[in-house]
Structure 1
Amino acid sequence: MSAPLPDVPGVLTLGPARLTAGFEAAARLDRRTHLAVHGTAPQLTEAQLTSLAETVALRGRGGAAFPLARKLRAVGATARRRGARPAVVVNGCEGEPACRKDSVLLARAPHLVLDGAVLAAEALGAGILVVGVTRAAAETSVRDALAERGLSDRRGRTLRARVVRLPERLVSGESSALLRAADGGPPLPPGRHGRASDEGLGGAPTLLSNTETYAQLALAARLGASRYAAVGTAAEPGTVLLTVSGAVPGPRVVEAPGGVPLAHVLRMCDADPAPQGVLTGGYHGAWLDATTASGAVVSHEALAACGGALGSGAVLPLPADTCPLGEVLRVAHWLAAESTGQCGPCRLGLPTVAGALADVVAGGGRSALEALREAAGAVRGRGACGHPDGAARFTLSALSAFTDDLAAHVLGGGCGRGTAGVLPLPAADAAAPGAGGAQGVERLAVDWTLCEGHGLCAGLLPQLVRVGPDGYPALADTGVPAHLRGRALRAVRRCPALALRLDKER
């Protein structure tokens, strides 16, 4: 089984080192080392900064790829119209198990990120800077970096700065969840959709973007548009950060020029030379079959054109000796368990998708495949956040990428391979409080000599239990996440036949 990725994995640089400059000499670039490597950041007006972001076609690097220049214009215009001071927020909340690029930047080059954020804050006249994180190494590094720069949350400061720590969950990466948590609320996306540029942190117009985006902005300001565009493609200049895991000897964060062949990145990471397919963009991304992946290049436009996604920058090749649909099923169960329970398409729809995929893998035939397509289609565009859409895209793309394996499961007796668990999942999240590490992971189990098929457990805990075709509970093949342990205990206590229990694996 694949172990969770380390908080700060190793780094590989292909081509010129920009974001990773200085990494060969220091594990973390403090303020003095950072200035020695990168020099002093210039000061730019709002118009100059916006023009620069537009000229270098800088997009958000968190997954949505929204043009930063448009955000800058929107925040500035709203601030002037309302006569309000804006806020700047750095989204470093990586809750996805396959992503570590933002954690590496915040842990090793925090001042490059802060340079971009402060540059934007000064240009916009912002009064507040917030950095959201999910991991301890990133939190410590950013707090130290703020202290090194003399930034704090004390009143009277021209720019007040603070760090907000969110749980390491997939939904923590949603911008609306970060804003809600930074305002003292729960770290969950609200049901109402709005634009941060209109009403973000504390109701102020807010520039919110990803960690890498701000670091890229700092580089572009130092280099200028022409030098910045000396690498990459004409449409997407500069470098890009990728997290490569899966069928590789060890996970790495890779800095590479935009437009580099995906096959070259995998080869330099010593990936399996003949993968079954490659997941691009992480667990909200899309699968590519082996042939398509071999000819793909790393850019938003190129990957989208061949059915992939750059997304959060996660790249995961899959080896030939594991069942691909079994691997997808493990992640589908995890995605279902990551639901915040705030909307039906997520709370009920994603478990239905995972359950339908389980039926396909188990040999449920064409009817199971049709049920899967219907369930995945039903959740798209209906969630309170982007989680249902991303989970559906991840699952449905696997059906197109692994057609031979799909046929073996639908038309035959299966592919004959076990599921190795190559795709990383967070073991710590699957453990109950006080039950992690050496103490083991908790899983639901059923005593079939007692179960009478009441189905109460499926109603109480749809993320992990569903009613199978035979009328009896079918359990997700995953541990009980910490955020669902209370519901799991409630389901155990309320089982009329006392058939459900929590077992601890060691």
Structure 2
Amino acid sequence: MKHAPLELPEVRRLDAARLTSGLDRHQRLDLAAHTRVHPPLRPPDRDGLLTLAEAVGLSGRGGAGFPFARKARAALATADRTGAPPVIVVNGAEGEPASAKDKMLFARAPHLVLDGACLAAAAFGAEEIVIGVVAGSPGEISVPAALAERDLPCPARTMCLPERFVSGESGALIRGINGLPVAPPSLRARATDGGTGGVRGRPTLLSNAETWAQLAVAARLGPDAYAAVGTAAEPGTMLLTVNRPGADPLVVEVATGTRLGAVLDSCGLQPGSGVLVGGYHGAWLRPSDAIDAPLSRAGLAGLGASLGAGAIVTIPGGTCPLGEVARVAAWLAAESAGQCGPCRRGLPAAAEALALLAAGAAEPVVLEDARRALGAAQAGGACSHPDGTARFLLTALDVFSEDVDAHLSGPGCGRPVRGVLPLPPAQGARLEVDWSRCAGHGLCAVLAPDLMRLGPHGYPASTSVPVAPWQEHDARRAVNQCPALAVRLRRRA
């Protein structure tokens, strides 16, 4: 099957090419090209595959970093106890705007991901393989085409998910597969236990697309060759998405433990005012810390950061860091599912405080209130969205403390906001206030308390407020019942 050229990030490597092998010669590896680049696989049995995953220390590459073998053993224990065969799920629902590694794998090396999923399906006697892809992404075409080329150990299908940040949460993906709204479940349940947490009640083994590709690489190389690069505790390579201001992102394969400074140098970047590691649920590093930061879970943990989704973004000196962070804070607040207190109240309040701070209009008490709200959000939500957002914002306030002081003591740092932190095109709706009509009745803040907040004089604190899908009912009430007809709901395509 011939495919039209795909608009994808450029792929680079610093050392060994494993996940990116062959992509210097091929735009996309169909099955014929894949078998020329990657040697044939000899499927291991159940115990052999579990032993392999443990020997190479394989962990999730979607953000949580949970050990693959432990998760697989839990799913198999449920399958043995209940007699229900497991379901294999490949999570490629990459709603992280700063990350493109899973989209790249699905579009350019889909058979490497499918190799890993098929190995597990055959060894564990799976009932089905389900691959989650983002609707409208190249993987929506590439993955079904790859499935059609292969002999499969069990039925397999793709599941298209909306391009939202929370779509990649494991519980949200499983709900989507089960025909429910794609949102994190209100009550946490382990997929490996089946029941309400699994696909059709079956024990479910869900891992990120890169994790499955890593399993295929390990099965071909064996533990010793796999550990020839990387660190002793975390062998192998990893995929990073390096975002460049004014240019397309790069997907870079590096050995675990590589210094972040070397990665930035290879991409022509400097640390600038700060470096974000792990994407929008990650943490900011000061330039002095970023240069020598080892790209491993243990190395970054010592700096209060994590690999997360493997996304890296630098803030150049010509843009306002707080304005950049405020843009993302507003987007993250609107991307929540709105199912718990931290998402309904904490994140919007923090986003509003960041916006006031970036505009040089915040009092110190506003910043302290935002810190308290973010602290309360950590470990208090129905999913990891409040935790990750709080980490992103709190580390930004620490790393950019000099800018915070400048914005609290005067009009700000004087730099424009250039939009270097990647965000998708504006969509959805916004509440807008017509100041020529607004009379300060304050009814909008009563009808839509999660959206509208009043300033010290009783007028709305902002003239434009993004509206999440779960907030639209209250937004329409505020519009319909405003006595002065000053509030409007404007939709954007």
Q: Deviations over 1:255-302 (max 9, x none)?
A: 11111110111111112x351000010001100111111121211111
Aligned partner of residue 492 in structure 1, secondary structure = helix
User: 2:3 corresponds to which residue?
Assistant: none
Q: Deviations over 1:409-434 (max 9, x none)?
A: 2233321212111101110xx224xx
1:40 to partner: Cα distance:
1.5
Alpha-carbon distance between aligned partners in 2 of 1:496 and 1:92, rounded to the nearest angstrom: 47
Alpha-carbon distance between aligned partners in 2 of 1:291 and 1:233, rounded to the nearest angstrom: 23
AA at the equivalent of 2:289: T
User: 1:357 corresponds to which residue?
Assistant: 354
Alpha-carbon distance between aligned partners in 1 of 2:121 and 2:182, rounded to the nearest angstrom: 24
Matches within 5 A, 1:124-139: 124-136=124-136, 137-139=138-140
AA at the equivalent of 1:472: Y
The TM-score, its normalising length taken from structure 1, stands at: 0.91
Alpha-carbon spacing, 1:470–1:226, altered in 2? closer, same or farther (3 Å): farther
Aligned partner of residue 475 in structure 1, secondary structure = coil
User: 1:180 corresponds to which residue?
Assistant: 175
Alpha-carbon spacing, 1:457–1:33, altered in 2? closer, same or farther (3 Å): farther
Q: Deviations over 1:45-70 (max 9, x none)?
A: 11111111111111100000000010
- What percentage of residue pairs aligned between the two structures are identical? 55
Q: 1:376 aligns with which of 353, 371, 374?
A: 374
Alpha-carbon spacing, 1:290–1:196, altered in 2? closer, same or farther (3 Å): same
AA at the equivalent of 1:59: S
Alpha-carbon spacing, 1:78–1:482, altered in 2? closer, same or farther (3 Å): closer
1:363–1:411 Cα contact (<8 Å) kept: no
The TM-score, its normalising length taken from structure 2, stands at: 0.93
Alpha-carbon distance between aligned partners in 2 of 1:475 and 1:336, rounded to the nearest angstrom: 15
Alpha-carbon distance between aligned partners in 2 of 1:455 and 1:368, rounded to the nearest angstrom: 20
1:249 to partner: Cα distance:
3.6
Matches within 5 A, 1:185-204: 185-199=180-194, 200-204=198-202
Alpha-carbon distance between aligned partners in 2 of 1:302 and 1:173, rounded to the nearest angstrom: 25
AA at the equivalent of 1:403: S
For the aligned residues, what is the CA RMSD? 2.1
1:248–1:270 Cα contact (<8 Å) kept: no
Aligned partner of residue 466 in structure 1, secondary structure = coil
1:28 to partner: Cα distance:
1.0
User: 2:107 corresponds to which residue?
Assistant: 107
Matches within 5 A, 1:311-390: 311-361=308-358, 362-390=360-388
AA at the equivalent of 2:435: W
User: 1:310 corresponds to which residue?
Assistant: 307
1:7–1:135 Cα contact (<8 Å) kept: no
AA at the equivalent of 2:161: L
2:432–2:464 Cα contact (<8 Å) kept: no
Matches within 5 A, 1:69-218: 69-136=69-136, 137-151=138-152, 159-199=154-194, 200-218=198-216
Alpha-carbon distance between aligned partners in 2 of 1:139 and 1:189, rounded to the nearest angstrom: 22
Alpha-carbon distance between aligned partners in 2 of 1:169 and 1:258, rounded to the nearest angstrom: 29
1:405 to partner: Cα distance:
0.8
**Is 1:399 matched with 2:417?**
no
Q: Deviations over 1:303-332 (max 9, x none)?
A: 111122210001000001111111111100
2:434–2:463 Cα contact (<8 Å) kept: no
AA at the equivalent of 2:417: T
Unpaired stretches in structure 2, ≥5 consecutive residues:
1-5
Aligned partner of residue 453 in structure 2, secondary structure = strand
Q: Deviations over 1:17-40 (max 9, x none)?
A: 110111112111111111110022
Aligned partner of residue 296 in structure 1, secondary structure = coil
Alpha-carbon spacing, 1:192–1:295, altered in 2? closer, same or farther (3 Å): same
Unpaired stretches in structure 1, ≥5 consecutive residues:
1-5, 152-157, 433-441
1:61–1:210 Cα contact (<8 Å) kept: yes
AA at the equivalent of 2:173: L
Alpha-carbon distance between aligned partners in 2 of 1:198 and 1:476, rounded to the nearest angstrom: 47
Alpha-carbon distance between aligned partners in 2 of 1:281 and 1:452, rounded to the nearest angstrom: 45
Question: Where in structure 1 do 4 or more consecutive aligned residues deviate above 4 Å?
Answer: 458-464, 476-490, 502-506
Alpha-carbon distance between aligned partners in 2 of 1:470 and 1:309, rounded to the nearest angstrom: 43
**Is 1:468 matched with 2:455?**
yes
